[in-house]
């Protein structure tokens, strides 16, 4: 007999949902926690082991999302081509006994955004709920925090050098978050397959300098990309934007339980934050056509007031191609690469990222006329939603 042994580990919060041991200061329910995680410094845990303790519980499993090709939808349902996927779901606060059900068929694309602060001590529990639509598979999953300086390989998530999580089991990763920057995370088990299938997410760390006041270039900032010492990386609003894509043939063959076309992999649905244009600019969470679940919760719309500096936290988890992103009409300053502040900044209008690369760029809207600008790929064949033109890897920057 095999049974699930879910175990969300959050020190001082030994058994969430058990009335006898709840010392959590919030309400356990989906989406009630402010950012989907339990944080000691926001008073969500009483008497914490560490004043900077953060707990998050992710499930890994499968699900469905729809693509942006509403006009030429091959499925004919007007919701865009339905794609089977693997992915993660934030189930923080769900009692252990209900975690399996909460995670099943609940995969989101991209994965829930993980946002930490320098100095946080993170307990990230991953529960593998299995793939409901592929019961022939018994794949483990992991969380690989790409670029994170682990003290030991044990929590790396790369399955040959660390542990992976079987169906029905939970592993808690521990991260002492010592460096700010834009990172990313993904499952590292059979990485080509699981990443193409959608186990990809935004992850970034804000610096200890946040909350101090620094003046730079005539403006005062309290939020910074890095501990720059002089305010040069200061910004007013930030947006994580992840480059990724789906190869529709790969996903279609997967749900059809056919051999997977690895050698032909090509993303005919290029996306930003899990959506192709114009879905990228729809602020609403998007339902899928399989069961109506809101499986694409994150837009890629960028908004700011005139005069503000926008920090774009760019990352690429494309498994097949390099992508160049450009912004016309707003100066773009590159301030960081690979989760490191650059020693010298440079101004450009286009940046290029390969899979696994991250980059921070500042868009300064001072002197820029209010209106709609575009962030899009100059790989022009990627401005498509498969057969449909004027889509793909593009989003809008709205200056008010
Ligand atoms: Cu996986």
Ligand 1 mean position, distance from CA 159 (Å): 10
Ligand 1 centroid – CA 322 distance (Å):
23
Entry field: residues in the chain: 400
Through-space distance between the first and last CA atoms of the chain, rounded to whole angstroms: 60
Centre of ligand 1 from the C-alpha of residue 189, in Å = 5
From ligand 1's centre to the CA of 198, what distance in Å?
9
Give the distance (Å) from ligand 1 centre to CA of residue 67.
Answer: 21
pLDDT one-digit tens code per residue, 238-276? 999 999 999 999 999 999 999 999 999 999 999 999 999
Separation between Cα atoms, residue 255 and residue 83, nearest integer Å? 8
The pLDDT score that the predictor gives to residue 25 is: 46
- Please tell me the distance between residue 146's alpha carbon and the centre of ligand 1 in angstroms: 14
**Centroid of ligand 1 to alpha carbon of 155 (angstroms):** 15
Ligand 1 center–CA 135 separation, angstroms: 15
The C-alpha atoms of residue 374 and residue 394 are separated, in whole angstroms, by 7
Task: State the distance from the centre of ligand 1 to the C-alpha of 312, rounded, in angstroms.
Answer: 27
Q: Are 395 and 302 in contact (CB under 8 A)?
A: yes
Write down the mean pLDDT value for the chain: 92
Domain residue limits, the chain: 38-399
The pLDDT tens digits of the residues spanning 277-292 come to 999 999 999 999 999 9
Residues 107, 62: contact at Cβ < 8 Å? yes
Per-residue pLDDT tens over the stretch 61-106: 999 999 999 999 999 999 999 999 999 999 988 888 889 999 999 9
Q: Which two tokens stand for residue 225?
A: 């990309």
Residue whose tokens read 């305010």? 231
Separation of CA 141 and ligand 1 centre (Å): 4
Ligand 1 center–CA 290 separation, angstroms? 21
Asked if residues 348 and 332 have their Cβ atoms less than 8 Å apart, the reply is yes
Q: What's the whole-number mean pLDDT along residues 211-218? A: 96
Measured distance CA(386)–CA(270) in Å, rounded: 8
Ligand 1 centre from 17 Cα, in Å? 28
Please give the distance, rounded to the nearest whole angstrom, from the Cα atom of residue 132 to the centre of ligand 1. 14
Burial of 9 (0-12, 13-18, 19+ CB in 10 A): middle
| Cα 166 to ligand 1 centre (Å) | 10
The partner residues of 377 in beta bridges, in order of sequence, read 325
Ligand 1 centroid from CA 23, angstroms: 32
C-alpha 185 – ligand 1 centre gap (Å): 11
CA 328 – ligand 1 centroid, Å: 37
Residue 47: predicted pLDDT: 67
**Ligand 1 midpoint to CA 88 (Å):** 9
Confidence class of residue 14 from pLDDT cuts 50, 70 and 90?
A: low
CB contact at 8 A, 232 and 362: no
Tell me if 164 sits within 8 A of 157, measured CB to CB. yes
How remote is the CA of residue 164 from the centroid of ligand 1, in Å?
9
Q: Choose the CATH number for 38-399 among 2.60.40.420, 1.20.950.20, 1.10.3720.10, 3.40.50.620.
A: 2.60.40.420
Q: What's the pLDDT score for residue 32?
A: 43
**What percentage of the chain exceeds 90 in pLDDT?**
84
Q: pTM (2 decimals)?
A: 0.94
pLDDT score of 4: 79
Return residues with CB closer than 5 A to ligand 1 (ion): 141, 187, 189, 194
Q: Determine the distance separating the centroid of ligand 1 and the alpha carbon of 350, expressed in angstroms.
A: 32
Give yes or no for residue 45 having a pLDDT over 90: no
Mean pLDDT of the 329-355 span:
97
**Span 22-49, average pLDDT:** 63
Residue-wise pLDDT for 184-200, tens only, equals 999 999 999 999 999 99
Distance 186 CA to ligand 1 centre (A): 8
């Amino acid at each position: 007999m095999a049974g699930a042994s879910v175990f969300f580990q959050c020190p001082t919060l030994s058994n969430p949902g058990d009335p006898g041991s709840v010392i959590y200061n919030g309400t356990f329910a989906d989406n009630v926690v402010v950012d989907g995680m339990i944080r000691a410094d926001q008073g969500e845990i009483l008497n914490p082991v560490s004043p900077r303790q953060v707990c998050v519980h992710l499930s890994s499993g499968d699900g469905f999302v729809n693509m942006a090709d509403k006009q030429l939808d091959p499925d004919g349902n007007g919701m865009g081509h339905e794609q089977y996927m693997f992915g993660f779901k934030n189930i923080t606060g769900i009692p252990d006994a209900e975690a399996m059900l909460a995670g099943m068929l609940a995969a989101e694309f991209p994965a829930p955004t993980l946002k930490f602060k320098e100095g946080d001590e993170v307990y990230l529990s991953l529960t593998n709920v299995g793939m409901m639509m592929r019961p022939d598979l018994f794949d483990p999953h992991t969380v690989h925090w790409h670029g994170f300086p682990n003290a030991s390989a044990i929590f790396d998530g790369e399955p040959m050098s660390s542990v992976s999580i079987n169906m029905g089991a939970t592993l808690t990763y521990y991260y002492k978050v010592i460096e700010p920057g834009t990172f990313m995370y993904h499952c590292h088990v059979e990485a080509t397959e699981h990443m193409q299938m959608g186990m990809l997410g935004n992850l970034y760390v804000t610096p200890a300098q946040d909350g101090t006041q620094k003046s730079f270039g005539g403006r005062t900032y309290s939020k910074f990309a890095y501990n720059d010492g002089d305010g040069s990386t200061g910004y007013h609003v930030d947006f994580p934007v992840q480059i990724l894509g789906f190869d529709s043939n790969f996903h279609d063959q997967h749900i059809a339980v056919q051999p997977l076309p690895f050698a032909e992999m090509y993303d005919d649905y290029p996306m930003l934050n899990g959506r192709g244009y114009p879905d990228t600019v729809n602020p609403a969470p998007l339902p899928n056509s399989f069961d109506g679940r809101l499986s694409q919760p994150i837009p890629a719309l960028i908004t700011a007031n005139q005069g503000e500096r926008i920090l774009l936290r760019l990352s690429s988890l494309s498994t097949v191609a390099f992508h160049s992103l450009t912004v016309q009409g707003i100066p773009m300053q590159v301030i960081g690469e690979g989760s490191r502040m650059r020693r010298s900044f440079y101004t450009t209008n286009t940046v290029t990222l390969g899979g696994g690369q991250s980059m921070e760029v500042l868009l300064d809207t001072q002197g820029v006329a209010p209106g709609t600008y575009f962030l899009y790929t100059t790989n022009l064949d990627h401005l498509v939603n498969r057969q449909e033109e004027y889509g793909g890897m593009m989003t809008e920057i709205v200056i008010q």
